Amino acid sequence: MNQLDFRERHAVVTGGATGLGRGIAQRLIESGGSVTLWDRDAEAAEKAAWALGPRAFALRVDVAQQSSVAQAVAATLAQAGRIDALVNSAGITGPNAKLWDYPADAWREVMDVNLNGVFLCCREVVPPMRRQGYGRIVNIASVAGKDGNPNASAYSASKAAVIALTKSLGKELADTGVRVNCVTPAAVKTAIFEQMTPEHIAFMLSKIPMGRFGTVEEVAALAGWLCTEDCSFSTGAVFDLSGGRSTY
């Protein structure tokens, strides 16, 4: 494993109790930093922080609620003193259904977590990053936001919006010390697969030329680098991890 330099830095990782969020948190700790896991499952977040060791902390946060995010920012700053990186990894897939059959409540929930959650976390974390003159924001989008997966219109639309948000915010902060980028993985086998049908999982695998799913460690390696000072001339950028799927 290549050594990244995240020494003396502190990161917030949303959805950090499981899956990609936990993997990214582990990579940042292994790179010398500390992390606060934000997750709406408080028990899972506490267990993950305990497993990750003394440089991991946990907060119950609902990223879809501005008051919850604002309180979490204040609590994190009180505990850690600063937020050097924000990784927006919290996300849900929603049901697999044709758009005309898609439940309206499920659509709103996907947008609340996947898009509004990214907006609210960025909105609350950017001001302290600007005040300290430094920050790294990494949004976990998806290749579905580029291609559009059938039977996953809400998920695809939410991730396309995260890509656009990343580009806009990156430009808005380009004259500061804050860099904003996103990662667009193809399918990575995590617990989120439990929210999908077997048919949809098989469809996603069939689209990957490498013939396999990505790994948490592969996503964590790229996201971890995007959190470091070495990522200095990339902002508003989209980094593919698609096993050859993405064609643009």
Rounded-to-integer distance, Cα 80 and Cα 12, Å: 10
* Per-residue model confidence (pLDDT) at position 166: 98
- Could you tell me the residue range of the domain that residue 203 belongs to? 10-241
Please name which of 123, 136, 130 lies closest in space to residue 68, comparing C-alpha atoms.
Answer: 123
Model-level pTM? 0.94
Indicate whether 247 pLDDT > 80.
Answer: no
Q: Reply yes or no on whether 248 is catalytic.
A: no
Pairing of strands 237-241, 178-185: parallel
CATH number at residue 108: 3.40.50.720
Rounded-to-integer distance, Cα 52 and Cα 162, Å: 28
Q: pLDDT tens digits, residue range 134-189?
A: 999 999 999 999 999 999 999 999 999 999 999 999 999 999 999 999 999 988 87
Q: Does some domain include residue 4?
A: no
Q: pLDDT tens digits, residue range 192-227?
A: 677 778 887 888 888 889 889 889 999 999 999 999
Rounded-to-integer distance, Cα 139 and Cα 201, Å: 23
Q: Does some domain include residue 107?
A: yes
Backbone Cα Rg of the chain: 17
Beta-ladder partners of 57: 36
Structural domains counted in the chain: 1
Q: Does some domain include residue 67?
A: yes
Rounded-to-integer distance, Cα 167 and Cα 96, Å: 28
Q: Does some domain include residue 72?
A: yes
Rounded-to-integer distance, Cα 35 and Cα 41, Å: 17
Q: Does some domain include residue 246?
A: no
